[in-house]
Copies of this chain bind each other. A is one copy, B any other.
């Protein structure tokens, strides 16, 4: 702990030096009995030697800090997640330091130095593609919880996700229920689990309804607007175009809206569209978008609660939590023409 005397000593520092886990140190701090006496003695000695002072509870007027980390802050998800995390943190008197790793390697190093210097009590990481070395460093940091709307596989850390497969299923079932049979899908990048899960939900719904799969009805997008537009154009140019499209992100759904508009067609009279995300704009699009809601704010809240439990040294029951998606039916879907 070479810089231990200059910067604030954290629970993680103590744990490392004592050769025990962070929760063990927390248990000692919380006066819990389930710590071997010898371990407790070693930890308490280090706490004293380094003059560890708890980044306290609201009672003592001393606020704790947690870090909330994004790859970049231009994700449309960011503000919803911040809102959920802040809501819980506020009640606990905990400050939320929001940062973005940014993409350049030097920026990553700088960001990591900043996180360490802050000596926050824990980290909520919004899953993304971190440099593997940085990800390994984060695993050794004080408690970390991952919020994972995208389905980036992250080993060994408690992760809050959403039920992507069920979401894809319910979107497609809704279209089938309206009488559609030629239903296309615009999927996300295949490297993300959430893309695969949403696509599998789509396939399962078709299969359950006895609809033959058709590879012409699948377009691989990347969740961004342009790929939704390109997918929409491709589908509308088919000899036998689909009567409905499930775009597996809201942004891609807006891209399809624009392709439909440029053809002089109408949503939903000529074609039905379902999205995935339910960011606030979905209500303001024209027509308002039928979409699968990811409960991003609630995911942020659960992440904060889980992290604060870990900081207190409590155990969590499972490494993977999934919150349910919900289909929000608005005006972009209708029965197909002639149905």
Chain A contacts with B in 46-67, Cβ cutoff 8 A: 56, 58, 60-63, 65, 67
In the bound complex, do residue B3 and residue A284 qualify as a contact, i.e. CB atoms below 8 Å apart? no
Q: A83-B73, A90-B111 are in contact. Are A117 and B286 (CB under 8 A)?
A: no
Q: A74-B83, A111-B90 are in contact. Are A61 and B96 (CB under 8 A)?
A: no
In the bound complex, do residue B79 and residue A95 qualify as a contact, i.e. CB atoms below 8 Å apart? no
- Distance of A62 Cα from B285 Cα, bound (Å): 46
- C-beta contact mask, A118-134 vs B, less than 8 Å → 1, else 0? 10000000000000000
Q: A61-B6, A76-B280, A287-B261 are in contact. Are A95 and B99 (CB under 8 A)?
A: yes
- Distance of A56 Cα from B114 Cα, bound (Å): 11
Q: A284-B251, A286-B258 are in contact. Are A86 and B114 (CB under 8 A)?
A: no
Closest to A85 in B: B98
The winner among A58, A73, A287 for most chain B CB atoms within 10 A is: A73
In the bound complex, do residue A60 and residue B286 qualify as a contact, i.e. CB atoms below 8 Å apart? no
Chain A contacts with B in 256-290, Cβ cutoff 8 A: 257-258, 260-261, 280-281, 283-288
Q: A82-B73, A280-B76, A286-B258 are in contact. Are A61 and B113 (CB under 8 A)?
A: yes
Among candidates B56, B67, B82, residue contacting A82 with C-beta atoms closer than 8 Å: B82
Closest to A101 in B: B90
Among candidates B63, B86, B100, residue contacting A73 with C-beta atoms closer than 8 Å: B86
Q: List residues of chain B with CB within 8 A of the CB of A257.
A: 286
In the bound complex, do residue B100 and residue A65 qualify as a contact, i.e. CB atoms below 8 Å apart? no
- Distance of A65 Cα from B68 Cα, bound (Å): 14
Q: List residues of chain B with CB within 8 A of the CB of A90.
A: 99-100, 102, 107, 110-111, 114
For residue A176, CB closer than 8 A to chain B, the reply is: no
- Measured CB to CB, the closest approach of chain B to A23, in angstroms, equals 25
For the side of the interface on A, what is the size category? 35 or more
Closest to A261 in B: B286
Q: List residues of chain B with CB within 8 A of the CB of A110.
A: 58, 90-91, 93
For residue A191, CB closer than 8 A to chain B, the reply is: no
For residue A328, CB closer than 8 A to chain B, the reply is: no
In the bound complex, do residue B86 and residue A285 qualify as a contact, i.e. CB atoms below 8 Å apart? no
In the bound complex, do residue A65 and residue B97 qualify as a contact, i.e. CB atoms below 8 Å apart? yes
In the bound complex, do residue B99 and residue A97 qualify as a contact, i.e. CB atoms below 8 Å apart? no
- Distance of A123 Cα from B53 Cα, bound (Å): 25
For residue A225, CB closer than 8 A to chain B, the reply is: yes
In the bound complex, do residue B117 and residue A93 qualify as a contact, i.e. CB atoms below 8 Å apart? yes
In the bound complex, do residue B93 and residue A285 qualify as a contact, i.e. CB atoms below 8 Å apart? no
Closest to A98 in B: B98
Given contact pairs A74-B79, A86-B99, enumerate 7 new A-B contacts (beta carbons under 8 Å). Answer: A6-B60, A8-B62, A63-B117, A65-B65, A73-B79, A87-B100, A258-B284
Can you report 20 residue pairs joining A to B where beta carbons are below 8 Å apart?
A: A6-B61, A56-B117, A58-B113, A58-B117, A62-B117, A63-B117, A65-B95, A65-B118, A68-B98, A73-B83, A74-B83, A78-B82, A86-B99, A90-B107, A93-B113, A94-B114, A96-B97, A255-B284, A261-B286, A286-B286
